Structure 1
Amino acid sequence: MKNNHVSRILRTFLVLVTSILTAQQYNSNIKSQSDFWDKVQFGGGLGLSIGTGYTDITVAPSAIYNVNEYFAVGLGAQYTYAKQKNFYSSNLYGASLITLFNPIREIQLSAELEQLRVNVSGIGTNNFTNNFWNTGLFLGAGYRSGNATIGVRYNVLFKENNLAYSDAFMPFVRFYF
């Protein structure tokens, strides 16, 4: 049942993004292919958290297409490695669909639909394995200055003890060039 619901969300979102991009193409005057790439920005985020017996490394590249000065759509990828000494080790990888809305230059609102594969294995006496898919729908708001945005996002699909994220709220720093 849940997978059917997630599948419908993903299909609806993909149809919406495709429709917007197609409408943009047909509604514009005949332009060269370089006009498309002039509206594309690449960026994403990197994360590193190291503590006593704990390591968390994240690489999350993404690309967005600026439909106009207010709205952008894009795709992202993510890989995260996390390890707690003598307890567990995990690998998370997946993709996301991104929408950004800038009602004014300094404010950025975002929605990101993320699908991650989570692989967790116990270490030492913690002999367990847990492999599953995790879907997140993050709604966020941030302050934008130049190519950087700093803010917070909230996972509206967050569930306690899902082993993918420890909290529904997540701060972020986003860069696009």
Structure 2
Amino acid sequence: MNRNLYFVLLMFASFSLSSFSQNRGDKFGDHMRYGGSVNLGFSNNFTTIGVAPSAIYDFYNGFSAGASISYYYTERKDTFFDYKSNVIGGSLITMYSPLPYMQLSAEFEQLNVNRTEGIIDIDPYWVSGLYLGIAYFTGNVSLGIRYDVLYDDGPQGSIFGSAISPVLRAYF
């Protein structure tokens, strides 16, 4: 299946959930939650900073859907080789809670990668990810793991080192 089909399926799932609307007296804003994540990584000559604010709408019976924008900056300073990247993009996410403490998720992400290796500017390129995840959640916070079914570790592939990544979300 191609990436566009994944995107269409995810969009269909997100918008079909609206048929499970809340009571007619409820206001749209009563079901909105805002949050996201912040990523910070520091090591010897290496820095990564990322922010990803998002908004989700709580539908009926544990279904939620929303969107996120993201920005990541990475820099590695080395004696012979410097590396910098600026990555900006967005994602659509659907979440379902079959149990009070469990959250299943599907997220489609598109990222535009701009990077410099040494003195060479690499042509910008787009990377897609389709993440399927499971998390434990309590209150406003969920902690779990996700898997990118479109993961590509090629030279213009995923910006992440593995198809498996941790998930930490907070929505208020």
| Same-fold call, TM cutoff 0.5 | yes
Residue 14 of structure 1 and its aligned partner are, at CA, apart by: 2.3
Q: Which amino acid aligns with 1:174?
A: R
Consecutive aligned runs of 4 or more in structure 1 exceeding 4 Å deviation: none
How many residues align? The count is 167
The answer to whether the aligner puts 1:131 opposite 2:128 as a matched pair is no
| Partners of 1:29 and 1:103 in 2: CA distance | 21
Task: Output the TM-score relative to the length of structure 2.
Answer: 0.89
Determine what percentage of the aligned residue pairs are the same residue. 35
**Pairing partner for 1:65 from 57, 71, 75:** 57
Task: Report what 1:92 is aligned to.
Answer: 87
Q: Does 1:6 align with 2:3?
A: yes
Distance 1:29 1:101 in 2: 19
Paired residue type of 2:132: L
Secondary structure (helix, strand or coil) at the match of 2:159 reads coil
Report 1:1-177 matches (<5 A).
5-21=2-18, 23-25=19-21, 30-31=24-25, 35-86=27-78, 87-124=82-119, 127-161=120-154, 162=157, 164-177=159-172
After TM superposition, the score normalised by the length of structure 1 is 0.86
Q: Which amino acid aligns with 1:6?
A: R
Cα deviation for residue 68 of structure 1 reads 1.7
Q: CA deviation at 1:10?
A: 2.0
Please list every run of 5 or more consecutive structure 2 residues that lacks an aligned counterpart in the other structure: none
Q: Secondary structure at the match of 2:161?
A: coil
TM-aligned CA distance change 1:7 to 1:36, over 3 Å: same
Structure 2: distance between partners of 1:18 and 1:73: 8
RMSD between superposed Cα atoms in Å: 1.8
| Stretches of structure 1 lacking an aligned partner (at least 5 in a row) | none
1:105 offset after TM fit, Å? Answer: 1.1
Larger deviation, residues 67-76 vs 57-66: 67-76
